[in-house]
A and B are shown apart, each in its own frame.
Chain A
């Protein structure tokens, strides 16, 4: 199992977003702290995945 982490935390002044994912040997992807942007990326990778599609939100800006 390989864990990818985009950034240590999102509290730093850079205001980066954080999502963590774990890719299992059978192709399953587990995600923690899923952001809208990352949900969109995952849907592009697998448009038929209903679990991700239901979480993709249109018209939302990550800007805070």
Chain B
């Protein structure tokens, strides 16, 4: 059943689990011509074809546990990390699992929903779906949502590189979008994550997410990338999403294949961090931690 009404009205009538279940079925059929992310591969994942993310039809997960390292207003959160990603960030802190969609164990939505409900009973305030990148596993993510309590606060942690189609399927399903804006220009995006046309796509997703969910934008400060990446990100956020919550994260460490890039072989220096925070304050960004 598809509701043609705006999702807020639709959700009031049908409830999130019902809509999520219907959308999960639609999303599964769409695996035959996968266009969930902005790479727009169009491969038939149901037939074993692989796009740039190499994900098959079934999702895997590499971690599911209660965590307290995310934004204070979201923790403790039950975080479910799905394997695989459509980006190839050389500095990915979970590179081995994020670049391999077969990593970890097979994802069973029903089993995971039971764990999530147990976590909520044990004190978790929210449930977070992340990756890798969860957008490439929309059928599994939506099926998971369909099995969760309507009242649970759900977080969609994303790289914001999804397609417009994915945004439609996600509309109204998650209370909070926790979205990365990693690179301030396409050259750095291409060099560090092999992603073309990055800035336009992310900006489109952030504006879209802000329309239908609460939005928190994250930027992982990278050594040597304050001027080229953080500054344009901060300026755009100040101009286009004034008041949006921004989490400027300074805990970069040279993980995975970061050493391929000379400037990423270290952590962020204190002067770099201070300069980044100063810029955020001068622009009036709504910083959260």
Residues of B with C-beta under 8 A to A45: none
Q: Is the CB of A9 within 8 A of B68?
A: no
Out of A24, A30, A32, A64, which one reaches B119, CB within 8 Å?
A64
Q: Is the CB of B122 within 8 A of A61?
A: yes
Residues of A with C-beta under 8 A to B62: 9-11
Tell yes or no: B67 within 8 A of A by CB. yes
Main SS at interface, chain A:
loop
Bitwise, A24-59 to B at CB < 8 A (1) or not (0) is 100000111111100100000000000100111101
Q: Is the CB of B66 within 8 A of A55?
A: no
Tell yes or no: B124 within 8 A of A by CB. yes
Out of A12, A17, A60, which one reaches B122, CB within 8 Å?
A60
Tell yes or no: B267 within 8 A of A by CB. yes
B residues 93-129 with Cβ under 8 Å of A?
93, 97, 103-105, 115, 118-119, 122-124
Known A-B contacts A1-B253, A59-B123; A34 and B69 likewise in contact (beta carbons under 8 Å) = yes
A30–B255 Cα distance when bound, in Å, is 12
Out of A10, A12, A24, which one reaches B267, CB within 8 Å?
A24
Q: Is the CB of A18 within 8 A of B63?
A: yes
Tell yes or no: B76 within 8 A of A by CB. yes
A30–B103 Cα distance when bound, in Å, is 25
Q: Is the CB of B76 within 8 A of A36?
A: yes
Q: Is the CB of B118 within 8 A of A57?
A: no
3 closest residue pairs by CB, A with B: A60-B123, A34-B69, A11-B104
Q: What are 8 A-B pairs at a CB distance below 8 A?
A: A9-B97, A31-B69, A31-B251, A35-B67, A36-B67, A57-B76, A60-B123, A64-B122
B interface residue numbers (CB < 8 A to A): 60-69, 72, 75-76, 78-79, 93, 97, 103-105, 115, 118-119, 122-124, 251, 253-254, 267, 289
With A60-B123, A64-B122 already in contact, 11 other A-B pairs whose C-beta atoms are closer than 8 Å: A1-B267, A9-B97, A10-B64, A17-B65, A20-B93, A22-B253, A22-B267, A35-B68, A55-B69, A55-B72, A60-B66
